[in-house]
């Protein structure tokens, strides 16, 4: 769930800072599109105009990107991530819930891995391969395989929501 708030001063926040009234938004793309289509649905003090679509889009994008990074670190600590294209190619399909590519992953690598793991969903992570490597305390990593768990499902949902923003 994503916490959305609009203060009496008209400031829009995505996150849990402050003591203002909070509206909770699910991470499903349909929920995100619904709030972007009609920003007036956000709870706000009387007389306060709703935020613009651009402000909501920017706030949601930053929140989902940060949430994806935190969840990725948690999943790595739990041993739920297989990193690197060679290791991902060797993984069995039944042990993978999704394949995640860095924003700068090469077309050849993507094509090869998507052919090997055809029925598995592939997603884009909002970071470069260098940034992912730094997050994982490794070298550059353009491909990750996620093992099935609640943590990785949370990461998948977050990436779907981030991707739906465009």
Do 80 and 58 belong together in one domain? no
SS3 category, 30: helix
Same domain, 61 and 104: no
Q: Range of 93's domain?
A: 70-165
Render pLDDT for 48-68 as a digit per residue (tens, 0 to 9). 777 888 888 888 888 888 888
Taking only the tens place, the pLDDT of each residue in 111-160 is: 998 888 888 899 999 889 999 988 888 888 899 999 999 999 989 988 88
Mark whether 42 and 91 lie in a shared domain.
Answer: no
Q: Return the C-alpha torsion angle 95, 151, 68, 50, nearest 10.
A: 130
Taken as a whole, the chain contains a residue count of: 166
How wide is the angle at C-alpha 101 spanned by C-alphas 95 and 103, nearest 5°? 165
Q: In what order do the strands lie in the sheet with 143-146?
A: 81-83, 143-146, 98-101, 121-124
Claim: this prediction has a pTM higher than 0.85 = no
């Amino acid at each position: 769930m994503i916490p959305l708030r609009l203060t009496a001063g008209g400031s829009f926040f995505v996150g849990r800072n402050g003591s203002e009234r909070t509206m909770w938004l699910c991470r499903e793309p349909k929920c995100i599109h619904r709030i972007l289509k009609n920003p007036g649905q956000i709870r706000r003090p009387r007389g306060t105009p709703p935020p613009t679509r651009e402000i909501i889009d920017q706030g949601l994008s930053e929140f989902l990107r940060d949430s994806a990074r935190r969840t990725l670190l948690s999943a790595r600590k739990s041993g739920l991530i297989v990193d690197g294209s060679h290791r991902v190619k060797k993984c069995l399909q039944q042990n993978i819930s999704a394949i995640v590519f860095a924003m700068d992953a090469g077309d050849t690598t993507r094509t090869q891995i998507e052919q090997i793991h055809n029925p598995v969903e592939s997603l884009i992570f909002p970071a470069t391969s260098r940034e992912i490597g730094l997050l994982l305390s490794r070298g550059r990593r353009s491909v990750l395989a996620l093992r099935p768990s609640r943590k990785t499902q949370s990461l998948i949902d977050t990436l779907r929501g981030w991707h739906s923003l465009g």
